[in-house]
Amino acid sequence: MRGDFFRRLAGGWFHRGLQLLFMGCVTGFLAGVIVTFYNIFISLAEGFSTDVYAYLRGHWFLIPLLFAALAAMALVIGVLVRLVPMIRGSGIPQTEGAARGTLKYNPFTILCSMFAASLLCAFMGLSAGGEGPSVQIGGACGYGSSRLFSRTDMIRRYQITGGACAGLAVAFNAPLTGMAFAFEETHKKFSPEVFICAFSSVLAGVVTRNLIRGGLGLSTEAAFTSFSFRAVAYPYTEYGYIALTALVCALLGVVFFRAVVALKRLIERKVTFLHGAGKMLIPFALAGIFGLITVYAMGGGHALIEALGTQGGTTEMTVEQAFSLGLAGTLAVALIFKFIASVVNMSCGVPCGVFIPMLAVGAAAGALFSLFMQNFLGMDASLSDLIVMVGMAAFFTCVVRAPITGIVMTVELTWSFTPLLPVVLGVAVGYMVGQASGAKPIYEELLEQIERGRAEPPVRLLRSLTVQAHSMVAGMSVKDILWPEGCAVKSLSRGETAFVPNAETVLCAGDVLSLEAETPDPAGCDRELALLTGNARHERKKKTLR
């Protein structure tokens, strides 16, 4: 009995675990190298564009040249997105679709195209973060590594997940955030296989990042360690301010979602110049206008978030006084510009990240509402830093609907556990408001739109397959298997007994599965099912014997 147990362990889960561990390390290393250099280039591009716009503010006669360059680059990006539609937007919905098996793409084309296009957007001064493209670049690394080692479709999907969370972890230098993203956003479940591919990829990626940056003489600290936030102990009697801030920022998140969906439909219907490629003129023109007014409308939003810290509880801020409107007016201008730029970028499908811009919108909204509560509700100014963090967490959670990621990210990026309970409250309010509004998670909505745009109609398949000994699914529970998208186990025959399996049912060699699937790729679905159940290997053996 004991010998049988260890044989099953060595031949089944243990073997799969070692395979995932090895592939995860390969994926993490590749993602660590490419995403590290990508983010270095993004930082250089943001610094260059900031200097150029600052120079142009003092030399107004050169501004027509800026808008001519923006128009030319808008058309270049529009044509590139039309040629490679999988880089449209931040790339996160496409990566999630590939990890779930609904979308397929050429990893090398995606990696190079997203790398170049998003870098050009940052170079031109758009409100463009590097974290979303880092996720897609990491996912492409996972796709490519599994193809390099000729792994099965299920292993490929695990490696896309591992590469995506490694890309996010490397961009933020936040390993826990990357792992939470894998469980909550990509697959929306926890399984041993997802854990192995996530932690091995993240670990290899972050270590590679720090070695490269250390070797180049660059800081290995997280991008947000320069935040001037001071998280003070928050009295429980003051938690009404937390809940009120979270509610306001969450409602702003609902407006953000509705605005993205409505504007996206309007632009796709009305803007058909150059077969739709001309719609990129809108975000590039706005980038030029906003960038000439305030530097905090440019880039991902790191500078804006850092400037919102009160450095010990004073009411002074380092944000420049746009239009000499004073503190509240400056905050309002920064918030409106960042909000509009993020909505337009997502609606037009600009290949750039909106992860950090969304955090910047939430942070600016929290800072502005903090001023309101100080002046009209009697809130202590020393608590304003905490309000900014809660605003970030509530807005992000309402829009993305990933509460665990929101909590882990806020705490990990600020390196403080003091605000943990207020942030949890803010995330809870943001999540409930998002659910009550009926708005879908933004990445789910965008992924569904991409899937609806596919030309292939789904085909209904009915298959009966026998689980072979030493197959990938033997010894796995139904819930932990990455079945082809749209595939479900309808019944299971074990010996003379037939029953409907539940999520916890463990498959054994000899089980006969009745499967049903609706897929636009019936040949690919058949191939993947044969690989999972070991029937592809079984068929090859029979052909060899013949």
Q: What is the full per-residue pLDDT of the chain (546 aa) written as tens digits?
A: 444 443 444 445 556 678 888 999 999 999 999 999 999 999 999 999 999 999 998 899 999 999 999 999 999 999 999 999 999 988 999 998 888 888 888 899 999 999 999 999 999 999 988 888 999 999 999 999 988 887 878 888 889 999 999 999 999 888 988 888 878 887 777 778 888 888 999 999 999 999 999 999 988 775 544 455 665 667 777 789 999 999 999 999 999 999 999 999 999 888 887 777 789 999 999 999 999 988 888 888 888 888 887 543 333 444 444 444 567 888 898 899 999 999 999 999 999 888 889 999 999 999 999 989 988 898 888 788 889 889 999 999 999 999 999 898 887 877 777 778 889 999 999 999 999 999 899 999 998 888 877 656 778 888 899 998 878 888 888 888 888 878 888 999 998 888 898 888 889 989 999 999 888 788 888 888 888 888 865 444 444 333
Mapped onto helix, strand or coil, the DSSP state of residue 93 is helix
Q: How far apart are CA 140 and CA 165, in angstroms?
A: 12
- H or E stretch at 519: strand 512-519
**Sign of torsion, CA 78 83 88 90?**
negative
Q: What is the pLDDT of residue 449?
A: 87
Report yes or no: 309 and 387 within 8 Å, Cβ to Cβ: no
Domains and CATH numbers, the chain: 2-215 (1.10.3080.10), 236-450 (1.10.3080.10), 459-545 (3.30.70.1450)
Report yes or no: 477 and 503 within 8 Å, Cβ to Cβ: yes
Strand runs (DSSP E) across 367-511, as ranges?
459-466, 487-494, 497-499
- H or E stretch at 66: helix 63-83
Q: What is the pLDDT of residue 242?
A: 92
Report yes or no: 304 and 291 within 8 Å, Cβ to Cβ: no
What is the per-residue burial (b if ≥16 Cβ within 10 Å, else e) of 266-285?
ebbeebeeeebbbbbbbbbe
Q: What is the CA radius of gyration of the chain?
A: 25
Q: What is the pLDDT of residue 346?
A: 94
Q: How far apart are CA 176 and CA 169, in angstroms?
A: 8
Q: How far apart are CA 30 and CA 73, in angstroms?
A: 29
Task: Please compute, for residue 147, the number of CA atoms within 13 A of its CA located in the half-sphere on the CB side.
Answer: 12
Angle between helices 192-215 and 131-148 (to 10 degrees): 110
Q: How far apart are CA 273 and CA 536, in angstroms?
A: 48
Q: How far apart are CA 224 and CA 234, in angstroms?
A: 22
Q: What is the pLDDT of residue 87?
A: 92
Task: Check: pTM over 0.85? Answer yes or no.
Answer: yes
* Residue 541 token pair: 């053996």
β partners of residue 442: none
The torsion defined by the Cα of 520, 521, 523 and 527, in degrees rounded to 10, comes to: -120
